[in-house]
Chains A and B, each alone.
Chain A
Amino acid sequence: MPAEYALSNVWIGLGVVIVLFAIFYAVGYFSSRKTTSDEDFYAAGFSIGPVTNGLGMAATWASLATFLGVIALILRLQVPFVYLWIQWAISIPLLTLLYGTSLRRMKAFTPASFIRHRYGKPSTIVIVCWMILIMVMYALGQMVGLGQAFELLFGVPYNVAIIVAGLATVGFITIGGMYGATYNAAFQMVVMTIAMIVPMGAIMKAMGSSGWWFPPLAYGDMVPDMIKNIPTFFDMKYDFRWYFALIPAFTLGPVALPHLAMKVFTSSSVKSARWAVVWFAIFLGLLFSGTYVVGFAGNFFTATTGRIIEKADQTILILNVFYNPTLVAAFVMGGAIAAGLSTIGGNLMAIAGLVGSDLLGIIAPDMNSAKRMKWGYAALGLGGLAAVLMAFNPPRFLVTSILWAFGLLATTATPAILLGVWWKEANKLALIISSMVCGIIFIVISPHVLPSICIGSGLVAALGMSGGMVTIPLSFAMFIILSIVFNRMPALKAYAPTLADKKVIDRIHGWGTDYDESRYNGITWPLIISVICVAVFIWGLQPW
């Protein structure tokens, strides 16, 4: 990268980061004093109000990629990647609508808590293993980005950056538990929104836009120059199947993300969880619109100045170093770091919940609350250390691995949760078979493991879109059809849903003691869904 793009005064960057971390540690410390039980540790005592939770949800969802990777991909793919990013905003509303409030009603700590009550121990182990794998990949991506951000800010070697930044991060997250993760995430959302939006106003003014007063939506006067320099910028570029493929991989995947679901579960009530989603949509929309304008401005910058952004991941810093004072550029990087930290916080809390609550709940079901909390702390700290250690040899492309993992989650976990909540016939053995078979197929047909066996090619395969369009509908269809068959085979009676399993469904929907066998039952609609899934599966198999 040309030298003029580096932060000119490292000490200013250091000052910003030290101030932010001091605040994070203070929040973590005060939060730790409120944590006295496993309910406090994993779910912030089910006490978080709507605005704080809305901010926390948005921060947890908006990762380091919002500042770095996504802007790089907007530079590369232009407008289609904006469309890809827009649909992330429906993940938490859909999650809340389809199962979040139901699981909040049963006071679940993670989605796997529900799996344990609905399907039993073997199924829980399968789902927890998939979720932990995906959470580790997710946390790893954030940790790598964090190390790169520190490397960029202070000019220290990557390995040193990852040790310092990683350990400092794991420290305050471990101290604070879910209270700390939530309050810090809410604060981090405010920091990252200001860091994304406000400096862009100055950049747009310098670029000659009259819309500098509201960067997210007022850069329309830059469009003619953009079209003049990059005529294809607003082209939709891909066919309908490309856009449709966003639904299975990138809409249904995040619906099952445990760290997002856990935010819904921390709400003070079911109704509060829904209000939190309204705030989430407002806050996240503001931040994401800021991301789009940075991507737009990055393209505009290269097109109108003739300069080349060699490291597209650093577009936001490059624009700020070029147009704004050093202090502002340092604050923007602080915002990026806050984005990474909020997501790592969520990821590590999810790993802690999956290991310390769900797996341990199977191994030692009678353990008391205080002990479970201690194990949670241990799982949180060790999960963080594992992410730091793995970050020394990171995957090549920061964003791709995370996005690809969404397809894996949609294949392995989403059908288990959604069908488990909405369909009494969902069978334990069918879940294990469909989740494992389709999950392994998704891995095999991706270009990351066996490039010679791959559905699709290029970015669409690397992101898991083409693979997901095959394995996600296959997983739903296989789960439904096997459930119907297995439930009718006397030899497999042990795997059929029991009356207690079915009662769980009625209760989490709010029916209390009123049980009705015909509710959430029947096979007509599941079979119709299977037929649709098979059609999508065949469509996904066609050459990309």
Chain B
Amino acid sequence: MKEKLYKKEIRITLIFSVLLLLAGHSASIFVLFPSLQQGTLWGFPTQYIIPILLGWFGIAIICLVMTLVCNKFDDEMEEYVSTLSPENDTPNENTPK
């Protein structure tokens, strides 16, 4: 169970990091593949408007999915932690003072 949770945490973090980087740096894709720099959307060149849209709605959607997925993961983690027997170690809710 805990191995599965650990792998899931790493997977979630990696996937959303990559998605956020792609959404925030989508202009790089148009530089890397200049053939994509053609056509228009709503009157704008695609290489201009698509990075703006991805930088706004794209990031917002990724954040929404990230929130749903990560909050669900937290529930699974809390469920797992609640099954553990208490040890000498105390939870860390008030450590940094």
Q: Which residues of A approach B to under 8 Å, CB–CB?
A: 38, 79, 82-83, 86-87, 89-90, 93-94, 97-98, 101, 105-109, 113-114, 116-117, 217-221, 223-224, 234, 236, 238-240, 243-244, 246-247, 251, 270-271, 274-275, 277-278, 280-282, 285-286, 288-289, 292, 361, 369, 503-504, 507-516, 519
Contact = CB atoms under 8 A, between A and B. Distances in A.
Contacts of B96: 106-109, 113-114, 116-117
A236 B47 contact: yes
A251 B24 contact: yes
Contact of B42 (A217, A246, A285): A217
Interface in B47-97: 47-49, 51-57, 59-60, 62-64, 66-67, 70-71, 74, 77-78, 80-81, 84, 86-87, 89-97
Interface residues of B, number: 58
Nearest to A285: B56
A510 B74 contact: yes
Contacts of B31: 236, 238-240, 243
B13 A97 contact: yes
Contacts of A270: 74
A286 B53 CA distance: 10
A117 B24 contact: no
Interface of B: 2, 6, 9, 13, 16-17, 20-21, 23-25, 27-28, 30-32, 37, 40, 42-45, 47-49, 51-57, 59-60, 62-64, 66-67, 70-71, 74, 77-78, 80-81, 84, 86-87, 89-97
B36 to A, nearest CB: 11
A86 B44 contact: no
A516 B84 CA distance: 13
A87 B24 contact: yes
A105 B84 contact: no
A405 B93 CA distance: 33
**Leading 3 A-B pairs by shortest Cβ distance:** A220-B43, A285-B56, A86-B55
B60 A278 contact: yes
Contacts of B13: 97-98
B11 to A, nearest CB: 13
B52 A274 contact: no
A508 to B, nearest CB: 7
A101 B16 CA distance: 14
A236 B81 contact: no
Given A234-B47, A278-B60, A285-B55, A509 B17 contact: no
A114 B97 CA distance: 10
Contact of A89 (B55, B71, B80, B93): B55
Given A240-B32, A243-B28, A247-B21, 16 more contacts: A82-B48, A87-B25, A87-B55, A89-B56, A219-B43, A251-B24, A251-B25, A285-B57, A285-B59, A288-B56, A361-B97, A508-B92, A511-B81, A512-B91, A513-B81, A513-B84
A281 B68 CA distance: 15
A244 B31 CA distance: 10
Contacts of A278: 60, 63-64, 67
Contacts of A274: 63, 66-67, 70-71
A221 B44 CA distance: 8
B29 to A, nearest CB: 9
